[in-house]
Amino acid sequence: MAEEVKVLRFWTSPFSGRVELALGLKGVSYEIFDEDLPNKKLSPLLLESSPIYKEVPVLLHNGKPVIGSMTIVEYVDDTWGNGHPIVPKDPYERARARYLASFIDDKIIPNFRKACWLEGEEQKRGMEETKENLKILEGEIKGKKFFGGDDIGLVDIAANYVAFWTGVVQKVTGVSLINEENHSNLLKWSQRFLSSDVVKGTLPDREELTALYQAARDAILAKKALSAN
Amino acid sequence: MAEEVKVLRFWTSPFSGRVELALGLKGVSYEIFDEDLPNKKLSPLLLESSPIYKEVPVLLHNGKPVIGSMTIVEYVDDTWGNGHPIVPKDPYERARARYLASFIDDKIIPNFRKACWLEGEEQKRGMEETKENLKILEGEIKGKKFFGGDDIGLVDIAANYVAFWTGVVQKVTGVSLINEENHSNLLKWSQRFLSSDVVKGTLPDREELTALYQAARDAILAKKALSAN
């Protein structure tokens, strides 16, 4: 039986990108279904597949839904076990990789977003937290090619936002958090990660993403100018 | 070499209880270290083991820290693989169990807490969300002995809050959310789960927990009375 693999996603979402990257590393072909998030019109397929979260990404494997980006990444590794290994085999390394992936989801991404997109006290706190978070991540990657060793693994996939999205967000918002002086190892890792052809195939077009974020930024500034009048 | 297994925990924490339950199911002996959370005095061992989250529970296995309650539960299953099985072997069932465990952490517990401990609009929203959440959980357990089949598994462990803590919280706060009319299967599951000797060994004393929650409730009411004057 031919396998049917569908990804319900949104093109700007790093979480969707993780799923595509895991499938790409395994050499699994999949069909993309882009949800209309800007107009908040979710497809019946998404609503039926993910009735609780109603979020992208969803993986549909032979019609069965798998939900949650890192859960999907682990599912892909479990299901197509013979390809590129993603989750470490050693129980302790595995637990540590899951912990670092949670750290990226619970701390790094939300704090980075706060630091770049919010204002006042919340932004300030976001910046302080991000500096601490990045220090930890810089320490984790120091002396290594990838977070799990010599090739892309679970934590690298979780950190795709750090490698790619942060650059675009910093450029558009003018906030500078990642720099050569303090994060030289993280920046080298980003370059290494982004030079992988499989990774490249899962990233949004940089110019299109920049234009979208710029429009969001302009809208925020226009609203602010209006409210000041 | 004798194994050294330590659990840094707090006696009222359902998340700590999950770790103890996983170890208990595997028949692993462990040493308990209670953190002084009420006085916010964390032990040097906790701060050193979990520098990012600074939270219980932490499992120390031969000195190596494992962090995050569900990550610890999976680590216990990976490490003591021959005992009672916790994580489903089938990749799809495994992904689904992880998804339901996330649902309990992301939705059920925070919404239930809001519904019971907060007031006004936030409480109202918490109650509405909890009703929806419980409907889903009731549907998941219907026709089954445990969430994963005939014995306690990953989702049951994640749902320990639902089986035990919700009863105490409802009694103390007077909020009634789980009832025979709408949640007969969930209540039957709770009884089944709580009748396990291993589970019993990981629960706080009901009267002590009730007294602690009652004191917290009294403090909230006293503060409210004071601010109304």
The complex's ipTM works out to: 0.94
Complete DSSP assignment for B188-226 = HHHHHHHT-HHHHTTSPPHHHHHHHHHHHHHHHHHHHHH
A102 contacts B91? CB cut-off 8 A: no
For residue B78, the chain A residue with the least C-alpha distance is A91
- For B124, the token pair is 């109202």
How many CB atoms are located within 10 Å of the residue B75 CB? 24
Q: Pick out chain A residues at pLDDT < 70.
A: 1
Tracing tokens 């309990």 back to the chain, one arrives at: B104
Tally DSSP H helices, then E strands, for chain B.
12, 4
Distance between CA atoms of residues B219 and A190, nearest Å: 50
Phi/psi at B81 (nearest 5 deg)?
-65, -25
Digit-coded pLDDT (tens) for A103-118: 999 999 999 999 999 9
What DSSP designation does B105 have? I
B67 contacts A92? CB cut-off 8 A: no
Q: Which of A181, A215, A24, A100 is nearest to B71 (CA)?
A: A100
Percent of chain A exceeding pLDDT 70 equals 99
Q: pLDDT tens digits for chain B (229 residues)?
A: 579 999 999 999 999 999 999 999 999 999 999 999 988 899 999 999 999 999 999 999 999 999 999 999 999 999 998 889 999 999 999 999 999 999 999 999 999 999 999 999 999 999 999 999 999 999 999 999 999 999 999 999 999 999 999 999 999 999 999 999 999 999 999 999 999 999 999 999 999 999 999 999 999 889 888 887 7
Nearest-CB residue to B136 (from A52, A61, A136): A52
What domains are there in chain B, each with its CATH number? 5-79 (3.40.30.10), 91-206 (1.20.1050.10)
Distance between CA atoms of residues A33 and A179, nearest Å: 36
Estimate to the nearest angstrom the gap between the alpha carbon of B150 and the chain centroid.
Answer: 20
Distance between CA atoms of residues B97 and B77, nearest Å: 14
Q: Which of A107, A30, A25, A98 is nearest to A68 (CA)?
A: A98
Please say whether the beta carbons of B8 and B35 come within 8 A. Answer: yes
Distance between CA atoms of residues A130 and A127, nearest Å: 5
Interface residues of B toward A, Cβ cutoff 8 Å, are 51-52, 61, 64, 66-68, 71-72, 74-75, 78-79, 91-92, 94-96, 98-99, 102-103, 107, 136
**Burial of residue B223, with CB atoms counted within 10 A of its CB: 0-12 exposed, 13-18 middle, 19 or more buried:** exposed
Alpha-carbon gap: B193 to the closest alpha carbon of chain A (Å): 25
Distance between CA atoms of residues B210 and A57, nearest Å: 41
pLDDT of residue B159: 98
Phi/psi at A66 (nearest 5 deg)?
-120, 135
Write the CB contacts of A36 (distance below 8 Å, at least 6 apart in sequence).
A42, A43
- For A156, the token pair is 């690298």
B99 contacts A67? CB cut-off 8 A: yes
pLDDT of residue A1: 56
pLDDT of residue A109: 98
- For B184, the token pair is 């007969």
- For B172, the token pair is 């103390």
Q: Which helix (H) or strand (E) holds A8?
A: strand A5-9
For residue A60, the chain B residue with the least C-alpha distance is B92
Q: What share of chain A is helix, strand, coil (3-state, %, to 5)?
A: 60, 10, 30
Q: Which of B108, B203, B202 is nearest to B155 (CA)?
A: B108
Tracing tokens 């103390």 back to the chain, one arrives at: B172
Q: Which of A167, A180, A193, A177 is nearest to A134 (CA)?
A: A177
A99 contacts B91? CB cut-off 8 A: no
Q: Which of B51, B50, B49, B56 is nearest to B13 (CA)?
A: B56
pLDDT of residue A12: 96
Please say whether the beta carbons of A94 and B61 come within 8 A. Answer: no
How many CB atoms are located within 10 Å of the residue A126 CB? 21
Residue in B74, B92, B140 to test binding to A, most A beta-carbons within 10 Å: B92
Q: Which of A155, A23, A18 is nearest to A76 (CA)?
A: A23
Write the CB contacts of B116 (distance below 8 Å, at least 6 apart in sequence).
B126, B169, B170, B173, B175, B177
Sort out which chain A residues have CB atoms less than 8 A from B72's CB and list them: 95
Nearest-CB residue to A75 (from B52, B64, B95): B95
Distance between CA atoms of residues A85 and A89, nearest Å: 9
Tracing tokens 């917290």 back to the chain, one arrives at: B216
A52 contacts B92? CB cut-off 8 A: no
Interface residues of A toward B, Cβ cutoff 8 Å, are 51-52, 61, 64, 66-68, 71-72, 74-75, 78-79, 91-92, 94-96, 98-99, 102-103, 107, 136
